Amino acid sequence: MSTPIFIFLFLDFFFFMLYKYQQTQNRRGQMHLSPAECVVELFGGVRATARAIGRNPGAVSRWNKPKSKRGTGGMVPSAAQRIILKIAKKKRLKITLEHLNYGKIVNK
């Protein structure tokens, strides 16, 4: 294996691991919730979220599954985002576009 390829692979692996570490926990003991985890938490669970937006609980639970297991990888589908924002406004829940796109950081 030539040196430039080895350096590239090493840096690629290093930055991937750094990204994964920052995604789950930062140095101050805080965790990053994915957009799907954030929405489900603010609605009070998978069933409550599904009931509120008129979807099957199985569909909502797939939001938290990785893409390799036929999930959305923590993302909320765009069709559901509009519905969630409307219902959150009616229920006076503090869900914003930032929650739906980036998630949120919470203390452990």
Position 85 scores a pLDDT of 93
Q: Report the candidate in 105, 45, 42, 35 with the shortest Cα–Cα distance to residue 75.
A: 35
Residue whose pair of structure tokens reads 């990888």 in the numeric block: 73
What is the CATH architecture of 28-107?
Orthogonal Bundle (1.10)
Position 27 scores a pLDDT of 54
Position 97 scores a pLDDT of 87
Which residues lie across from 33 on neighbouring strands? 104
**Mean pLDDT in runs of 10 for the chain (108 residues)?**
67 68 61 89 94 94 91 91 94 90 79
Position 45 scores a pLDDT of 94
DSSP E strands in 1-108: the ranges are: 30-33, 104-107
Position 1 scores a pLDDT of 53
Position 84 scores a pLDDT of 95
Position 98 scores a pLDDT of 86
What is the distance in angstroms between the CA of the first residue and the CA of the last residue of the chain?
A: 43
